Amino acid sequence: MKFTMTGSQWVGLGVLLSLLIFAVLGMMFSPFSISQQDLNAVLDSPSAVHWLGTDHFGRSMLTRMAHAVGLSFALGVLCVVTSSLLGTALGVWAVWGGKKVDHILGVMVNILLALPGLVVVLLFAAIVPGSFWILYLAISLVQWVEYFRVVRAITQNVIHSPARQSSQMMGFGHWYQFKRHIWPAIVPSVFTLAAFGGANAILTMASLGFVYVGIQPPLAELGLMTVELFPFYSDAPWLLAQPLVVIALMVFGFHLLAGKRV
Partner 1 sequence: MKAMLLKRVLQLVTVVWGVGTLTFILMRSLPGDMAYRIAASRYGQDNVNSEAAALVRQELNLDQGAFAAYWHWLLDLLQFNLGHSLVSGLPVIDAIQHMLGHSLLLALAGLLVSILIAVPVGLFCAWRGNPLDSIFMGLSSMIRAMPVFVLGVLFILLFALHWNWFPVAGFGTPAHLVLPALTLALSLAAVSNRVVRDSAKHTFQAAFYQFSKVKGLSAWQTFRRHGVRNIAVPVVAFFGIQLVSMIEGIVMIESLFSWPGIGHGLAHAIFARDIPVIQGAALVMGVLFVALNTLVDMLCLWIDPRGVREA
Residues that bind partner 1 (CB under 8 A): 110-111, 114-119, 122-129, 203, 206-207, 210-213, 223, 226, 230, 233-234, 240, 244, 247-249, 251-252, 255, 261
Name the DSSP letter for residue 197: H
Query: Shortest gap between Cβ of 250 and partner 1 (angstroms)?
Result: 9
Assess contact for 215 and 71: CB atoms under 8 A: yes
Residue 54's φ and ψ, nearest 5 degrees, are -125, 155
Helix (H) or strand (E) holding 194: helix 183-210
Query: Shortest gap between Cβ of 43 and partner 1 (angstroms)?
Result: 17
Query: Shortest gap between Cβ of 165 and partner 1 (angstroms)?
Result: 25
Assess contact for 238 and 225: CB atoms under 8 A: no
Q: Which is nearer to partner 1, 25 or 127 (CB)?
A: 127
Assess contact for 27 and 66: CB atoms under 8 A: yes
Instruction: Round to whole Å and give the CA distance between 55 and 52.
Output: 9
Q: Which is nearer to partner 1, 105 or 177 (CB)?
A: 105
What is the torsion angle, in degrees rounded to the nearest 10, for the CA atoms of residue 13, residue 14, residue 19 and residue 22?
140
With 0-12 / 13-18 / 19 or more C-beta atoms within 10 angstroms meaning exposed / middle / buried, residue 91 is buried
Query: Shortest gap between Cβ of 256 and partner 1 (angstroms)?
Result: 9
- Write the CB contacts of 207 (distance below 8 Å, at least 6 apart in sequence): 118, 214, 223
Query: Shortest gap between Cβ of 114 and partner 1 (angstroms)?
Result: 5
Q: Which is nearer to partner 1, 57 or 149 (CB)?
A: 149
Q: Which is nearer to partner 1, 124 or 178 (CB)?
A: 124
Find, among 119, 129, 118, the residue nearest to 216 by Cα: 129
Query: Shortest gap between Cβ of 175 and partner 1 (angstroms)?
Result: 31
Q: Which is nearer to partner 1, 30 or 143 (CB)?
A: 143
Identify the three-state secondary structure at position 54.
strand
Name the DSSP letter for residue 232: G
Q: Which is nearer to partner 1, 37 or 207 (CB)?
A: 207
Query: Shortest gap between Cβ of 212 and partner 1 (angstroms)?
Result: 6
Q: Which is nearer to partner 1, 185 or 249 (CB)?
A: 249
